[in-house]
Structure 1
Amino acid sequence: MTTSSETIAILGGGNMGLALAKGLVKSGKYAPNQIIITRRTLTALSSFAQEGYQITSDNAQAVAQANIVVIAVLPQQLNILLDAIKEEVNPEKHLLISIASGVTVKDVTDRVAKPVQVVRAMPNTAIAIQESMTCLATSNASLDNMEKVKDIFDTVGDTVEIHEELMTSATALCACGIAFFLRAIRAASQGGVEIGFHAAEALHMAAQTAKGAASLLLTNGSHPENEIDKVTSPRGCTIAGLNEMEHEGFSSALIKGIRLSSVKAGNLYTKE
């Protein structure tokens, strides 16, 4: 039994949009027929149509039929999309949720030329397994609408509300961050091969170890150094390995990468 009477249009049936659609239904709060998914090529959505989701290639029609509109396209595609739907956008009816990186609330309201409420959301690809870290921000949405958006993204992971000026930083830390941690796991697995494990077992061991490390922090609410202290002993092998990594610039490289990604994320959208 569903608990929401809202209709949600997800404009852009790519990986992120489809994962959100699945998460909403899996939560039990929405039925498939309450979700409209748009995509230029509908054959890619045939399995969703069979499951009862509404599918269409007409973004304006989807907006007209919905109360909540999720804009799930690349920043480079945003202006064309907003121009196509702005006639249907009704500030009295619609709440817009934008997951386009580097696009401010004002950018959206200026483009549609209407004072519609907009919430920015930045999930990551772990949304596909309901483990996303999603950051939310707004400059004009009501508390009720912010809570509504939080409920939506809580179906696919954890959420945190931040100031809008930090959204490009959130892109680097949480969205790009998935790739950074995956690269660290890959490096650890390659180290495992160097010391004698087969590639598949080394990857499994490294990934599970990374999962355990993250779970320690989230479960215990502790700082990484507190957990590191528990596994480092005087003149031991762990501290030797950690110090060698730091001599090679491990922490510095990760920090620099996050900073550069944040700068790049802020320049993905052009207003013209």
Structure 2
Amino acid sequence: MSMKQEKIAILGGGNLGVAIAEGLLTKGNYDAANIYLTRRNIRSIEALRDKGLQVTTDNKLAVRESRLILLCVQPAQLPALLEEISPWLNPGQHVLISVITSISIQTIAQAVGEDFAIIRSMPNTAIAIHQSMTCLAFNEKSRGVEKEVVALFDCLGSTLVIEEELMAAATVLCASGIAFYMRFIRAATQGGIQLGFDAADALKIAVQVSKGVSGLLETNRSHPEQEIDKVTTPRGCTIAGLNEMEHQGFSPAFIRGLATSYERIQNMKKQ
């Protein structure tokens, strides 16, 4: 079956579910009429119906009509959702893909049965513009659809297949990472304003510099320190600024932030 013919149900039209739907829609690999997006109250996502998506409150309908089932609800909502759709799930037909933080493959399998292909996915909201970094973990039953699922997320950014035990770390770096990098760009913008730029120009510079950083690392396949060495000169302004940032705890604070988010996810698993 081609991508155009594949039917996909996105159960949960929150920020991430909508971002996935919009990414699939704008990329054009999938037919809009074959994408189902559900939400209890569809008022906020009605505009997607005008773009050809199947917008509905009926999870059972979406499951019956689809093959790839993306679980995009909040963790607390998952048990009720799985109970609702389980009678309509068929292990020979359906592939379950969860983007839900802290919910293991085994937890889903216990609810729906051990015979299902179940994949954990951790994208981020940049999936809406085809720039997500998505990590994927597969159970044994899903090995036959690995290429298909990777291809789905590849058309929405970059993918990396990992062991499930790394999913909490992937959540911090991929999903929460969006917020962390946004905060860095905000700080760079505020610094630019303090140095004399107006807000719009400072933001434009900060955004483009961040694109350049990513592009250099990706193109040159280099380590950040190699690129840093290229712009630091003895007694120069760059090394002075870098040393002051480190003196103020820039790197340790960032790492502590990542570690704190990771600890929070680990605690969520125990609740």
Shift of 1:87: 1.1
Shift of 1:142: 3.3
User: Could you say which residue in structure 1 is the equivalent of 2:203?
Assistant: 203
Shift of 1:107: 0.6
CA distance in structure 2 between the aligned counterparts of 1:200 and 1:28, rounded to whole angstroms: 32
Which segments of structure 1 move beyond 6 Å, counting only runs of 4 or more?
none
Give the paired residue count: 270
Q: 1:1-272 maps to which residues of 2 (within 5 A)?
A: 3-268=3-268
Deviates more, 1:58-67 or 1:118-127: 58-67
Deviates more, 1:56-65 or 1:170-179: 56-65
Q: 8 Å contact 1:3–1:28 — kept in the other structure?
A: no
- Structure 1 residues 263 and 34: alpha-carbon distance in aligned structure 2, compared to 1, 3 A threshold: same
CA distance in structure 1 between the aligned counterparts of 2:222 and 2:150, rounded to whole angstroms: 25
Instruction: Tell me the percent identity.
Output: 48
AA at the equivalent of 2:21: A
Shift of 1:254: 0.6
Question: TM-score w.r.t. structure 2 length?
Answer: 0.94
Q: 8 Å contact 1:134–1:153 — kept in the other structure?
A: yes
Q: 8 Å contact 1:20–1:127 — kept in the other structure?
A: yes
- Structure 1 residues 27 and 202: alpha-carbon distance in aligned structure 2, compared to 1, 3 A threshold: closer
AA at the equivalent of 2:20: L
Secondary structure of 1:268's aligned partner: helix
Q: CA RMSD in A?
A: 1.6
Shift of 1:114: 4.4
CA deviation map 1:60-80 (0-9, x unaligned): 221111111000111121111
AA at the equivalent of 1:169: A
AA at the equivalent of 1:183: R
Secondary structure of 1:10's aligned partner: strand
Shift of 1:102: 0.7
Q: 8 Å contact 2:12–2:73 — kept in the other structure?
A: yes
CA distance in structure 2 between the aligned counterparts of 1:56 and 1:191, rounded to whole angstroms: 45
Q: Which has the higher helix share?
A: 2
